[in-house]
A = this chain, B = another copy of it.
């Protein structure tokens, strides 16, 4: 009855199921997992059987899946490792936020409780990763931020960029180029009706910046005090 070991592959499935659950778009289906992982549906069905046998998910054929407490715990710990490493790579090694995800995908599977306790302490128990995502603590607890997409900002509102909803290197590099990085404050000067784009003024700058709705939907912001 001891802890069965979970393979890297299984960890990846659990992480994806966790993320689909987080999005809360209803039932977590075989096809949604298949799509997100780029793996054939038949292969996913196979793995769901294995994860179910290990009691990491509940699964009834054709009915979709959900994480058990044990599966959720495993997923959260993988995410904790991923985000701790990303923080390390950016803050200590000086890599940029658009190149750490790929490396963290590898590092998140390293097994050693002690390593992560030490790493966490070394990094001074950071609460957020370089993309603004919360880092679970060693018990798996973390605070969910109340960030909203920039696309739902109010005219003349003052906001702070606190996260991204797209972690692709291209998007992150675009943000870097235009100076829309985490912590950047801005005021909404105009909301275009015809294309839902924005004109914002970044604090401490002169020129207004146009932000398409596409971009605005993927930028997470928090209301700033005026």
Contact = CB atoms under 8 A, between A and B. Distances in A.
Nearest to A92: B122
A interface bracket (residues with beta carbon within 8 Å of B): 10 to 19
B106 A111 contact: yes
B118 A103 contact: no
A112 B118 contact: no
A79 to B, nearest CB: 18
A67 interface: no
Interface in A87-127: 89, 92-95, 99, 102-103, 106-107, 109-112, 114-115, 118-119, 122
B102 A106 contact: no
B106 A118 contact: no
Interface string A165-200: 000000000000000000000000000000000000
A89 B115 contact: yes
A119 B93 contact: yes
Nearest to A115: B103
B112 A110 contact: no
Given A103-B115, A115-B103, A122 B110 contact: no
20 contacts: A89-B115, A89-B118, A92-B122, A93-B115, A93-B118, A93-B122, A94-B118, A94-B122, A95-B114, A95-B115, A95-B118, A99-B114, A102-B112, A103-B112, A106-B109, A106-B110, A106-B111, A106-B112, A107-B107, A107-B110
Interface of A: 89, 92-95, 99, 102-103, 106-107, 109-112, 114-115, 118-119, 122
